[in-house]
Amino acid sequence: MSVEQVMRIEVDLDKCTGHGICESIAEDVFEVADDGSVRIHGDPRPESDRERIRQAVSQCPAAALSLVED
């Protein structure tokens, strides 16, 4: 039996500039609101989303996103 790690996404709203790159990579995970802040849907996320989330985190120009694995 394998144990699946829990992935949580954290956003630093002080750093987030609302570019929307995260949303373009994983629109079912991230949503940029009208005020430019990012919202995260369904946190924690399933293992199947890992690669897209890592891509969004690494491509965030403001370094506002982080992936926390417990």
pLDDT digits (tens, 9 = 90+) for 12-64: 999 999 999 999 999 999 999 998 889 999 878 888 999 999 999 999 999 99
Q: What is the pTM of this model?
A: 0.85
The DSSP secondary structure of 8-45, one letter per residue, reads EEEE-TTT-----HHHHH-TTTEEE-TTS-EEESSSSB
Determine contact, residues 36/17, Cβ cutoff 8 Å: yes
Please tell me the distance from the alpha carbon of residue 38 to that of residue 47, in angstroms, as a whole number: 21
Domain layout of the chain by residue ranges: 6-69
State yes or no: pLDDT of 2 exceeds 70.
Answer: no
Fold of 6-69: Alpha-Beta Plaits (3.30.70)
Which residues, other chains included, contact 9 with Cβ-Cβ below 8 Å and sequence gap of 6+? 29, 40, 43, 45, 53, 57, 65, 66, 67, 68
